[in-house]
Amino acid sequence: MYTNLGLIGNPLSHTFSPFIHNYFLYKAGICGGYTCYDIESYELEDIILMFQRYHFTGVNVTVPYKQAVMNYCAELDITAQNIGAVNTLHFTDNGIIGHNTDIFGFHMMLETSAVNTANKRVLLLGAGGASRAVIPYLTINRPDYFVIANRTVEKAQDLSLLYDNKADICKLDELKGLEFDIVINATSMGVKGEPYTDYGFTIKEAAVDMIYKPKITSFLSLYSKNNIKLVNGLPMLIYQAAGSFNIWTGCDITPDMEYFNKAVYK
């Protein structure tokens, strides 16, 4: 049997996901393929019907459809319910099940980088879709002090609801002079390599970026001389993919990060 996997989003021109999943298929000895569908929002329903008609096993979902696809799910697992977003669709005999493996990806990114937010002073930059995956991890590994800073402060307030309203909220330009142990960048600033604005806070232990390209992202480069841990978003990308692959195939892949590091940054 051929295992059909795919990705929907817009734009997809720079995605690395087919490389990752076709490699996982090869490693797991599964005959199949992973293809990308760069779609407009009016095409969403048709393409989901197409996936069902052609017996797809699973599809990843990226920006801007992580919320819209929830309307087509017969069921949402606890991860997707927790943060109100789906990045993995699983086509089953009981209908489409929506999952969110970004949460697992974020968890593994910190764990494999030996960064832990428990009892630390933590700052989260950004309050968009990507930042939602951070909250379940922080709920378990509770910081002493947690601030969400966003350009649009109302969105930070919304995000704080997922954290029982227990985070401090501020604007990015109110961070000057503050000190944190761990800072997580979940804004899309720097995604095209543009310079990152220095908001004047200091970091004592680790700078973590959800962006993975270049290896030292614009955000990380601000702190590259500070003798702190710098973590880019590659582990999150790879581990969320491994989580999806596990849901679709039952195969528990331990990603070879050295291989992916070489492949992405060669």
Catalytic center residues? 66
From the number of C-beta atoms within 10 Å of its C-beta (0-12, 13-18, 19+), residue 211 rates as: buried
CA dist., res. 52 & res. 49, Å (int): 5
For residue 74, which of 106, 99, 100 has the smallest C-alpha distance? 99
User: Residue from 81, 82, 116, 188 that binds ligand ATR (CB under 6 A)?
Assistant: 188
Q: What are the contacts of 52-55 at 24+ separation with CB within 8 A?
A: 52/91, 52/96, 54/4, 55/4, 55/91
Footprint (CB under 6 A) of ligand ATR, residues 164-183: 172
142 near ligand ATR, rule: CB under 6 A: no
Smallest gap from residue 191 Cβ to ligand ATR (A): 8
Smallest gap from residue 45 Cβ to ligand ATR (A): 22
151 near ligand ATR, rule: CB under 6 A: yes
CB 209 within 8 A of CB 233: yes
CA dist., res. 190 & res. 7, Å (int): 24
User: Residue from 3, 87, 117, 187 that binds ligand ATR (CB under 6 A)?
Assistant: 187
Tokens read off for 107: 């968890």
33 known member of a binding site: no
For residue 184, which of 121, 264, 140 has the smallest C-alpha distance? 121
189 near ligand ATR, rule: CB under 6 A: yes
In terms of CB distance, is 48 or 61 closer to ligand ATR? Answer: 61
In terms of CB distance, is 20 or 127 closer to ligand ATR? Answer: 127
Smallest gap from residue 33 Cβ to ligand ATR (A): 26
109 near ligand ATR, rule: CB under 6 A: no
User: Residue from 9, 126, 233, 243 that binds ligand ATR (CB under 6 A)?
Assistant: 126
Q: Which residues bind ligand ATR (CB under 6 A)?
A: 63, 126-130, 150-152, 155, 172, 187-189
